[in-house]
Chains A and B, each alone.
Chain A
Amino acid sequence: MFDFSKELDLEAQRRRAAFYFLAPMIIALFCVAAWPLLRTIYFSFTDTSLTNLYGGEWIGFDNYLQRRELSSGRVIWRGTLVDPAWWNAVWNTVRFSVISVFFETVFGLGIALVLNAEFRGRGWVRAAILIPWAIPTIVSAKMWAWMLNDQFGIINDILVRIGILERGIAWTASIDTAMTAVLIVDIWKTTPFMALLCLAGLQMIPRDIYEAAKIDGVHPLKVFWKITLPLVRPALMVAVIFRMLDALRIFDLIYVLTPNSKATKTMSVISRENLIDFDKFAYGSAQSTLLFAIIAIFVSLYIWLGKVNLSGEGNQ
């Protein structure tokens, strides 16, 4: 006969073990994910300043939106939500994220397709392509700032020599080119990561599908659209979301490359300015909170609309 009591016993035991196994992880996650977030949200509803971190008083939504009626009867709105600098930053961030992730995905997929076949020197090429990703952002940003320098930079030198430019331009200083410069560097730095993830996805596609298509004489482009792309789609969707999360929070690259350009100020950069440089700590906290909210909404939409399966269940 089946011994139910023993079964229940085992079940209880397992549950307790699961609890002990998960506890350190949950506690750690709470420390990194939940507590600082709650604290920042709390700060955003107070008038806390850097010099008075513990003495902030609750002021409600004033950091976000505040209505003030002057004695003359005029109404003024203040707060982040009516701050043109904030909306400029939002626009920069969105522009940067969409363009950079788009190109990184296209180039990454392209490189992965090329690298997916055996040829001589593949290991070397793969390593050379991977290295930019392994270099600290602070280093690569500095290095590119140097290469893009208007007088001494190698990029201008090359472009002038091959006749694309008449004379060197100040890539990072000029308002028209600052965003392009940031995009170039970011695409250079993160395409390897995309390529790697795409390569991983490609290598899971069974070879015989391609063999069959070849025998049937299907055009290579059609093979790409009808076979390759649908099959790497799940891998691509997860890769894109991870990239998008980083792109929306972009900070260090811009901070080093074009620190004061209005054309590249993103949400992270502007909230740092307020948090640290301008001593508007609570105001900056409000901006951080808004950034979090924007990303959270975006991720939820993406997962919902794209039907991304994060835990990988049921796609095997």
Chain B
Amino acid sequence: MRLTPKQKHTLRVLLSWGAGIIMFFPIFWLVLTSFKTELQAISVPPLLFFEPTLENFALVQERSDYFSYAINSVITSFGATLLALLIAIPGAYAMAFWPSRFTKDILLWMLSTKMLPAVGVLMPIYLLVQKAGLLDTRTALVIIFAMINLPIVIWMLFSYFKEVPKEILESARMDGASTFDVITKLLLPLTKGGILSTALLSIVLCWNEAFWSINLTASDAGTLTALVASYSSPEGLFWAKLSAVSTLACAPIVVFGWFCQKQLVQGLTFGAVK
């Protein structure tokens, strides 16, 4: 069967909207539940129309200071991303422009960070953090988040840098520019888009990191994912409150991601794939 171009177009639009709605529905439901009272939340059949209430949000804020957790999340995810970029940029530069026989080995070695279960390295890292006196501090989270994301950040930067023709950098060097100048004045502006999307990806990943923030922080440096976790175990049945706290935890990053999604799509177009 052959479809006319018009039919094809309609089919495509229908399919994609269908997929979009299916993918988005659970999130819609989460947000909807957060505006229900606990009783409305467990009503059978589930309510689609009801009188919305803000009491869950008020309760969450009252019981645990949402903003201090949010600030921790912002600081740790931006701080860790910055730290990862600072380490990764020179490293990726060296690998991309001064390739050696080790380049491939280093790339493979980085993959091995994704081969061990996080819980398998929990104790060694916990002990390190404890010895350094950094338990329940944002510093510890910044360092650990940066380390966790370093492989993917390096990997992406490496693939962007490789796209830049060597000759451009060589000629700048011939004109007497120092390596530092070559990087800051030439390479970084040229790959700005890629670096931004790498940063974005890293921020999203840090924001969503739960394992380490649950295990290494308590009240001082807890991030939003730790806050969500704290609402789940003892209060498993208070679904409306859990929904409210989850909505609050995701909202900033989703809004942020929404504004930057074009950048993200373009960035991944190059980075993760090549």
Contact = CB atoms under 8 A, between A and B. Distances in A.
Interface of A: 14-15, 17-18, 20-22, 24-26, 28-29, 31-33, 35-37, 39-40, 43, 50, 53, 111, 114-115, 117, 119-132, 134-140, 142-144, 146-147, 151-154, 157, 188, 191-192, 196-197, 199-201, 203-204, 234-235, 238-239, 242, 245-246, 249, 251-252, 256, 267-268, 271-272, 275-276, 281, 284-285, 288-289, 291-292, 295-296, 299, 310-312
A313 B88 CA distance: 20
A291 B116 contact: yes
A288 B110 contact: no
Contact of B250 (A17, A43, A136, A246): A136
Interface stretch (B57-65, B134-142, B148-156): B148-156
A37 B119 contact: no
B272 A127 contact: no
Contact of A39 (B42, B124, B250, B265): B124
Contacts of B16: 111, 114-115, 119, 122, 125
Given A24-B91, A119-B9, A136 B208 contact: yes
B104 to A, nearest CB: 5
A35 B94 CA distance: 24
Interface in B78-99: 87-88, 90-91, 93-95, 98
B210 A252 contact: yes
A63 to B, nearest CB: 14
A32 B212 CA distance: 13
Contacts of B246: 139, 142-143
Contact of A142 (B95, B147, B228, B273): B228
Contacts of A246: 114
A285 B120 contact: yes
Contact of B12 (A114, A128, A299): A114
Contact of B268 (A39, A154, A200): A200
A292 B119 contact: no
A116 B125 CA distance: 43
20 contacts: A28-B87, A114-B15, A131-B254, A134-B257, A136-B207, A136-B228, A142-B232, A143-B246, A151-B44, A152-B41, A154-B46, A192-B23, A200-B270, A200-B273, A288-B117, A288-B119, A289-B120, A292-B120, A311-B104, A311-B158
Given A136-B208, A311-B158, 11 more contacts: A25-B88, A29-B151, A119-B9, A129-B19, A130-B261, A196-B268, A200-B270, A235-B273, A245-B111, A276-B119, A292-B116
A32 B148 contact: yes
A136 B27 CA distance: 12
B115 A310 contact: no
Interface in B102-143: 103-104, 106-125, 127
A246 B146 CA distance: 18
B273 A22 contact: no
B18 to A, nearest CB: 10
A142 B13 CA distance: 31
B243 interface: yes
B50 interface: no
Among A25, A26, A281, A296, chain B packs the most CB atoms within 10 A around the CB of A25
